[in-house]
Amino acid sequence: MDPDLSRLDETLATLDVDGYLIDADSTDADQYYLSGFDAPDPFLTLYDGSVRLLFVRSLEFGRAKRESRAETVERFTDYGYDDYLEDHDRTEAAHRSRAAFLDAYGIDSVAVPSRFPLSTADGLRDQGIEVVVDDGEAVTDIRARKTDEEIEHVRAAQRANEAAMAAAEDLLDRAEIDGDRLFVDGETLTSERVKEEIEVTLLRHGCALDETIVACGADAADPHDRGSGPLEPGEPIIVDIFPQDKATKYHGDMTRTFCVGEPDDRVREWYDLTERAYRAALAAVEPGVTGSDVHDAACDVYEDAGEPTLRSEPSTETGFIHSTGHGVGLDVHELPSVAPGGSELEPGHVITIEPGLYDPEIGGVRIEDLVVVTEDGYENLTDYSVSLRIE
């Protein structure tokens, strides 16, 4: 996959700098994307029209030459590190090696991501290099528009996700109700047990698990709570799965809400309303509309039904208390934002649509699909039915 870096050239021109610099390990998605290299320790990637890597040590050197997309791969030792160590500590020697590396390519000024490490920036500035924060996060912005190959990677992760969701639903389907508990094979069914089923299924499909949400009752009322303990009959159970394909590093993302046994009328109402908000938001997705417009479409449905949203009541702690969605790719949360202030959608944007309602008194309900914006609308990358009741 060769990314289109022309927007990075534009950023260099706009910010009037010689190069773009990243100092991070490859868990930083911008670093992985720009370098094309997977390494557990931080390294330096310079973009000056070409991609150039600089490593601290020799350990990754050979592999980087074989696997990265870089035109040049070098080491601190190639830029005087051992000599600098005679008069300076390791930190200062590293600063000087980095500056010598930039100097060798005629780089006097660089743009960097907002989370670029301060120590490296201060060290380069001390050596006379101008370091400017790129508030526009050019590489993150480029990553938002996926190539066909990247879309296939997301699609594959979402296939694994569907298998994991089916495994979770099967387990809930097998549950028997006894009082205020659910039982499977004679054991109390817990959030942890369902998560284990999900995670083992993901593993069998080549995906790593970050965390998984299986949350019931008051847990489900907090959108960031992962859930724990026994699941209860008649309560909505939020299952939110966001696997990462281990080979490609791209993510899937999907949420369903299930109920084992009879939900009360309020939960039914919330589910129907959330399904309407989800369909309204989906219907709004096309190139040229903004993420903010799509968010508004979900808010309209909730507010028309009298439910609070952060748009109508900025300080509300119940109702629709998060954004409608976010981009998904190498990061599970990335651009574009499908939220207030969200910018214009473009073909190749991969986004979630995930409205929900929350109240500690009732629990939580959320429905989430993953879609890709196309030339004339969107394609839903998710193939999983939308239904609350588990019979």
Main-chain dihedrals φ then ψ at residue 353, nearest 5 degrees: -125, 110
> Which region among 144-152, 199-207, 258-266, 269-277 touches a second copy (by CB under 8 A)?
199-207
Nearer to a second copy (CB atom), residue 260 or residue 299: 299
CB of 316 to a second copy, least distance (A): 9
Nearer to a second copy (CB atom), residue 1 or residue 200: 200
Long-range contacts of 304-312 (CB under 8 A, 24+ apart): 305/273, 307/273, 307/357, 310/340, 311/340
Q: Which two tokens stand for residue 338?
A: 């499908």
Please name the residue that has the structure tokens 């417009």.
293
Convert residues 87-116 into a mask of x (bound to a second copy by CB under 8 A) and - (unbound). Answer: --xxx--------------------x-xxx
- Closest by CA position to 388, among listed 372, 368, 365: 365
Q: Which two tokens stand for residue 229?
A: 């303990």
DSSP assigned state of 224: T
13 makes contact with a second copy (CB under 8 A): no
357 makes contact with a second copy (CB under 8 A): no
Residues facing 361 on adjacent strands: none
Q: At what angle do helices 148-174 and 191-204 cross, to 10 degrees?
A: 140
- Closest by CA position to 175, among listed 94, 118, 113, 230: 230
Selected from 73, 294, 321, 371, the binder of a second copy by CB under 8 A is 321
Distance (Å, whole) CA 74 – CA 268: 61
Nearer to a second copy (CB atom), residue 11 or residue 284: 11
389 makes contact with a second copy (CB under 8 A): no
Convert residues 44-83 into a mask of x (bound to a second copy by CB under 8 A) and - (unbound). Answer: --------------xxx-xx--------------------
Selected from 108, 170, 204, 389, the binder of a second copy by CB under 8 A is 204
Q: At what angle do helices 291-304 and 265-284 cross, to 10 degrees?
A: 150
Q: In sequence order, which residues have a C-beta less than 8 Å from that of residue 281 and are 6 or more positions away? A: 294, 295, 297, 298, 324, 325, 338, 353, 355
Give the count of residues interacting with a second copy (CB under 8 A): 44
Radius of gyration of the chain (CA): 24
Selected from 222, 269, 286, 313, the binder of a second copy by CB under 8 A is 222
Which amino acid would we find at residue 72? Answer: T
Please name the residue that has the structure tokens 């389907």.
173
Q: Which of residues 227-286 bind a second copy (CB under 8 A)?
A: 246
b/e code 67-85 from CB counts within 10 Å (16+ = b): ebbbeebbbbebbebeebb
287 makes contact with a second copy (CB under 8 A): no
Q: Which two tokens stand for residue 226?
A: 């992962």
- Closest by CA position to 297, among listed 326, 276, 318: 276
14 makes contact with a second copy (CB under 8 A): no
CB of 38 to a second copy, least distance (A): 9
Distance (Å, whole) CA 229 – CA 220: 12
Nearer to a second copy (CB atom), residue 46 or residue 151: 46
121 makes contact with a second copy (CB under 8 A): yes
Selected from 40, 179, 186, 306, the binder of a second copy by CB under 8 A is 40
> Which region among 98-106, 179-187, 220-228, 365-373 touches a second copy (by CB under 8 A)?
220-228
Distance (Å, whole) CA 235 – CA 144: 37
Selected from 49, 117, 128, 229, the binder of a second copy by CB under 8 A is 117
Nearer to a second copy (CB atom), residue 131 or residue 381: 131
1 makes contact with a second copy (CB under 8 A): no
- Closest by CA position to 24, among listed 47, 2, 40: 40
199 makes contact with a second copy (CB under 8 A): yes
131 makes contact with a second copy (CB under 8 A): yes
Nearer to a second copy (CB atom), residue 40 or residue 288: 40
Selected from 119, 234, 283, 389, the binder of a second copy by CB under 8 A is 119
Distance (Å, whole) CA 243 – CA 75: 34
86 makes contact with a second copy (CB under 8 A): no
**Which residues of this chain interact with a second copy, rule CB under 8 A?**
27, 39-40, 42, 58-60, 62-63, 89-91, 112, 114-122, 131, 133, 135, 196, 199-200, 203-204, 208-209, 211, 222-225, 246, 315, 317, 321-322, 333, 341
